[in-house]
Structure 1
């Protein structure tokens, strides 16, 4: 087994606990994640990773994740829905020292973001999730696991509601499912089943789009994520 670096910072010479956040968002039929730059020679040069950091003594992993989403991800936590993903504890996952990371998946609707939160900057930006690779630490594996968890969860829960605007058409809902699953759904069967489940509430208004017939608008009947076979 490769030994940990003796040049590691003093606070990393013993096992410490960190948290990392895989922040998901869907825009224009593409699933995105939030990344930050990592430049820590000689281990990483001009790399990128998910927002994360070491827990403070008074923090739980969840509380630290909310702080890091705001401080490093630069996103208002009032928009965020959080679920714990996995604990990454490989001995050499951080070349600077022994760090155990509690990873979370975070979900935010595109329309809930401010103009500043939508923008890409040198400090933080959005990357297409399905093609992202060569991340620092073990974040490639973290991303793979996060996408797999998201795909699984949208099959048997209403988690997708945390990526949707408050009001949407059935076409918009179908498109977000397809962007996550990277698969085309049967439009007729999808609509028939989703309406039969009773998880949506039809709104007394419609959405106009060009010359097309106005489409019915819906919202989720409950803000809570519930277990139900959707797909």
Structure 2
């Protein structure tokens, strides 16, 4: 087979920035790197694309291997190609971010990767340019969440308004006016109120809600803005 002349090969990898929410804290999933360089240091989950894989397929495979989950929210973020980003060999990495429900993940945990969840404000120093990837992913999520209801991907099937508000506050790292939030989220028509309450935090309790999936699909392109300015 013919090849391009005088061209050096470049490796292509995929890195997955996996966010989860446990009802109280927004978290990032990290692993201990198993090989040199930077062995045993904290890293995003990633790998090289297979010979017969496309980029999306490689990202989906990596996510499945680590979490056991498929059909989750997965979006391509950015390509990183600084010549010296990997000290071993010239490597271009295409970053993806995923939004998953931690409770689902815990049931599918694959122990071989020694993965751990970290609160966003407690994330350790990461290898290579992975810190930049996380910052870029959070900026993209903040932008997307103001336009589309993507944060519901992080929630369990049943959730309370306080849990939803806490999630938005952590994503934007900013407090939200409670009454204004309830008014806007109610006006969106996306929530279905449930008869039971969560009484784990107070005697009075808070009603559970479910996402109206049909309205979610219909309104995905015209979601309410929560009028929070990202930092």
Q: TM-score, normalised by structure 1?
A: 0.83
Q: Residue 45 of structure 2: which of 46, 51, 62 is its match? A: 51
**Structure 1 residue aligned with 2:106:** 114
Q: Does 1:189 align with 2:189?
A: no
Secondary structure of the residue that 2:58 maps to in structure 1?
helix
**Structure 2 residue aligned with 1:4:** none
Once the two structures are superposed, the pairs formed by residues 145-160 of structure 1 within 5 Å of their partners are 145-160=136-151
Q: Does 1:69 align with 2:63?
A: yes
Cα distance in 1 for partners of 2:146, 2:111 equals 31
- 1:82–1:36 distance in 2 versus 1, CA, 3 Å: same
Q: TM-score, normalised by structure 2?
A: 0.83
Cα distance in 2 for partners of 1:55, 1:130 equals 31
Gaps of 5+ in 1: 1-12
Q: Which digits, 9 at most, give the CA deviation of each residue in 1:4-26, with x for residues without a partner?
A: xxxxxxxxx72121111000011
Q: Does 1:38 align with 2:33?
A: yes
Once the two structures are superposed, the pairs formed by residues 82-93 of structure 1 within 5 Å of their partners are 82-93=74-85
Cα distance in 2 for partners of 1:122, 1:68 equals 11
Displaced runs of 4 or more, over 4 A: 119-122
Q: Which digits, 9 at most, give the CA deviation of each residue in 1:89-112, with x for residues without a partner?
A: 111111111111111001111222
Cα distance in 2 for partners of 1:28, 1:206 equals 17
* Equivalent residues of 2:33, 2:43 under 8 A apart: yes
| CA root-mean-square deviation | 2.3
- 1:174–1:35 distance in 2 versus 1, CA, 3 Å: same
- 1:183–1:121 distance in 2 versus 1, CA, 3 Å: farther
Gaps of 5+ in 2: 1-7, 227-231
* Equivalent residues of 1:29, 1:179 under 8 A apart: no
How many matched pairs? 214
Q: Which digits, 9 at most, give the CA deviation of each residue in 1:103-141, with x for residues without a partner?
A: 100111122223463x98872211222332421111010
Cα distance in 2 for partners of 1:157, 1:125 equals 29
